[in-house]
């Protein structure tokens, strides 16, 4: 309920703004806003307030009162300003990674975030270095939501993987900075731990059901209780015979051929064999990777019901979102969906209509921790759990961002566990670790992952771009959407 004092304060505030005082809030207004308790604080903290003053060498007289109040609230930490934003590309193990480093006017204080978009890495580097740097310089590092909203709409045409990934790098780096300033891991800023560590699943696979079962057993022995099983690569491309389009010289040499039949016949056989070997207590997952027709996907889902999968991933592509409504009515197999989504309109309807059980978005592809937390909270009200995408084309700091959110939210489902090479661990000190099927972050302030820039510079992006694996064709050469 508004009272006289509040209204008066508002008026004073507006007048001050119009009188173009540097800070916009007069000392009188600030004192009024504090109330009795605040005044007590001000008195008790008069000595402590000098810390704030030291960091701000020549504040305008009008600015002193609110600055002092802020300094008390933040125990002497003045706001920090962004001085530089840059992309740091790294090419290790055949995968293009891009991280973003955000530097500030506080000596030694910076943040690191993940902006990886493997198939268009150079475009993300340009989006960061040519646009986001210019956009963010001089702005306050602490205003994460405002930065996200303003950067998101500043290009007018928004969304899309290049801009979303670039924005994610900035966003994650700002959360990293906020955590470092607070002296807390980011999960603390997101609400604190809801679990002691993050349960993960890892990838097993083989050319035959027997080989897949053997590989699954290896992961169970490593401690995983959740294992994803694949047969002959995504869509069993390795089990497809020589394609007619290849004989005809259509397409490129590197293009893959996928015959849906050996895939659709082989997956239930694989599930049967893996169940025999690992037993009923291990949770099994599988990724259809969107490569079959909706009715074939539905038939496969129904066939797999008997093997009690934990979830089946990406039965159809985002362009086929409406098919989930029908699929949902005909099978009780839990469905995970969404690594390709980059526009909120793609996931909001399926979530609120409960068309799938797990939302599987790629955190850097949707724009970072800020939007991911909103997606997680939205899912809480519809019993949609999270299963953030965690493949090899996520930088270690991106895996850390996944894990910090996983630790904090209630409706966590499962996390695709990172598989980080020793080479990457050297470039990115502090990378998350995996033990007994659980993912651990290192509990350092921020996201806890650094980047060794000198070392990173020794792994430049390649000239030839890596997108051969996404090129799949049917027998006659028609492109398949992965
Ligand atoms: Mg997938």
Residue 202 in contact with residue 285, Cβ under 8 Å?
A: no
* Same domain, yes or no: 200 and 327: yes
Residue 479 DSSP SS3: strand
Confidence at residue 357, expressed as pLDDT on a 0 to 100 scale: 98
Residue 430 DSSP SS3: coil
In a domain, 179, yes or no: yes
Catalytic residue among 289, 362, 389, 404: 289
* Same domain, yes or no: 171 and 306: no
* Same domain, yes or no: 110 and 150: yes
Confidence at residue 464, expressed as pLDDT on a 0 to 100 scale: 80
Query: Is residue 4 exposed (0-12), middle (13-18) or buried (19+ Cβ within 10 Å)?
Result: exposed
* Same domain, yes or no: 259 and 381: yes
CA of 187 to the centre of ligand 1 (A): 25
CA of 313 to the centre of ligand 1 (A): 6
Closest CA to 314 of 188, 90, 333: 333
Domain boundary among 128, 151, 184: 184
Closest CA to 343 of 152, 130, 123, 133: 152
pLDDT(451) > 80: yes
Catalytic residue among 91, 110, 234, 307: 234
In a domain, 461, yes or no: yes
* Same domain, yes or no: 229 and 367: yes
CA of 443 to the centre of ligand 1 (A): 28
Mean pLDDT value of segment 81-100: 97
Confidence at residue 75, expressed as pLDDT on a 0 to 100 scale: 83
Q: How far apart are CA 429 and CA 448, in angstroms?
A: 8
pTM recorded for the entire structure? 0.86
List the structure tokens of 194.
Answer: 């809801």
Alpha carbon 252 to its chain centroid, in Å, reads: 33
CB neighbourhood size of 277 (10 A): 15
Average pLDDT, the chain: 88
pLDDT(31) > 60: no
Mean pLDDT value of segment 262-267: 96
CA of 478 to the centre of ligand 1 (A): 22
* Same domain, yes or no: 163 and 234: no
* Same domain, yes or no: 142 and 197: no
Q: How would you list the strands of the sheet with 95-104, edge to edge? A: 82-92, 95-104, 110-114
CB neighbourhood size of 139 (10 A): 16
Residue 193 in contact with residue 443, Cβ under 8 Å?
A: no
* Same domain, yes or no: 320 and 199: yes
Q: How far apart are CA 455 and CA 179, in angstroms?
A: 25
| pLDDT tens readout for residues 226-236 | 999 999 888 88
Domain boundary among 184, 206, 228: 184
Domain boundary among 163, 184, 205: 184
Whether residue 289 lies in the annotated active site: yes
| Domain span holding position 346 | 188-473
CATH of the domain at 107: 3.30.390.10
| pLDDT tens readout for residues 104-149 | 999 999 999 999 999 999 999 999 999 999 999 999 999 999 999 9
CA of 230 to the centre of ligand 1 (A): 11
CA of 346 to the centre of ligand 1 (A): 16
In a domain, 101, yes or no: yes
Confidence at residue 241, expressed as pLDDT on a 0 to 100 scale: 82
Structural domains of the chain, count: 2
CA of 23 to the centre of ligand 1 (A): 50
The conformation of residue 234, written as its DSSP 8-state character, comes to G
Confidence of residue 63 (pLDDT cuts 50, 70, 90): low
Dihedral over alpha carbons 258, 421, 180, 436 (to 10 degrees): 90
Residue 201 in contact with residue 227, Cβ under 8 Å?
A: yes
CA of 234 to the centre of ligand 1 (A): 9
Whether residue 234 lies in the annotated active site: yes
Confidence at residue 325, expressed as pLDDT on a 0 to 100 scale: 96
Annotate 24-53 with DSSP letters as a single string.
Answer: SS-HHHHHHHHHHHHHHHHHHTTTTHHHHH
Q: How far apart are CA 209 and CA 232, in angstroms?
A: 9
| Unique residue bearing structure tokens 């398949």 | 480
* Same domain, yes or no: 154 and 249: no
CA of 416 to the centre of ligand 1 (A): 9
Q: How far apart are CA 223 and CA 26, in angstroms?
A: 61
Q: How far apart are CA 229 and CA 239, in angstroms?
A: 15
């Amino acid at each position: 309920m508004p009272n006289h004092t509040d209204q008066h304060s508002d008026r004073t505030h507006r007048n001050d703004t119009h009188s173009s005082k540097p800070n916009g809030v007069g000392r009188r207004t600030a004192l009024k806003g504090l109330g009795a308790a605040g005044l007590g604080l001000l008195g008790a903290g008069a000595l402590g307030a000098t810390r704030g003053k030291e960091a701000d060498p020549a504040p305008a007289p009008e600015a002193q009162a609110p600055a002092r109040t802020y300094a008390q609230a933040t125990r002497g930490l003045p706001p920090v300003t962004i001085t530089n934003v840059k992309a740091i590309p790294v090419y290790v193990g055949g995968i293009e990674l891009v991280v973003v480093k955000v530097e500030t006017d506080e000596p030694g204080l910076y943040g690191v975030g993940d902006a990886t978009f493997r198939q268009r890495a150079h475009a993300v580097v340009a989006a960061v270095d040519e646009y986001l740097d210019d956009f963010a310089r001089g702005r306050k590092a602490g205003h994460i939501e405002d930065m996200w909203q303003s950067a998101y709409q500043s290009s007018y045409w928004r969304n899309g993987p290049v801009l979303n990934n670039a924005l994610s790098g900035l966003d994650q780096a700002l959360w990293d900075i906020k955590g470092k300033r607070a002296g807390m891991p980011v999960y603390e800023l997101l609400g604190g731990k809801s679990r002691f560590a993050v349960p993960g699943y890892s990838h097993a696979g083989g050319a035959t059901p027997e080989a897949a079962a053997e590989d699954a057993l290896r992961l169970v022995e490593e401690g995983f209780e959740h294992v994803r099983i694949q047969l002959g690569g995504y869509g069993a491309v390795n089990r497809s015979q020589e394609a007619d389009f290849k004989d005809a010289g259509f397409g490129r040499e590197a293009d893959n051929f996928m015959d849906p039949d050996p895939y659709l016949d082989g997956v239930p056989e694989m599930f049967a064999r893996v169940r025999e070997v690992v037993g009923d207590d291990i949770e099994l997952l599988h990724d259809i990777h969107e490569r079959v027709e909706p009715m074939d996907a539905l038939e496969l889902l129904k066939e797999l019901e008997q093997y009690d999968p934990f979830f089946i991933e990406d039965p159809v592509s985002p362009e086929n979102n409406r098919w989930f409504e029908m699929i949902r009515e005909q099978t009780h197999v839990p469905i995970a969906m969404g690594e390709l989504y980059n526009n909120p309109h793609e996931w909001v309807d399926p979530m609120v209509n409960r068309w799938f059980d797990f939302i599987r978005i790629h955190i850097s592809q949707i724009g970072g921790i800020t939007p991911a937390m909103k997606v997680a909270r939205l899912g809480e009200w519809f019993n949609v759990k999270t299963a953030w995408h965690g493949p090899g084309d996520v930088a270690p700091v991106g895996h850390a961002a996944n894990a910090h959110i996983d630790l904090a939210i209630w409706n966590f489902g499962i996390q695709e566990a990172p598989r980080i090479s020793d080479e990457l661990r050297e470039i990115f000190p502090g990378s998350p670790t995996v033990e007994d099927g659980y993912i651990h972050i290192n509990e350092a302030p921020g996201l806890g992952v650094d980047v060794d820039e000198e070392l990173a510079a020794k792994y430049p992006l390649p000239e030839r771009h890596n997108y051969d694996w996404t090129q799949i064709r049917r027998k006659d050469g028609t492109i398949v959407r992965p």
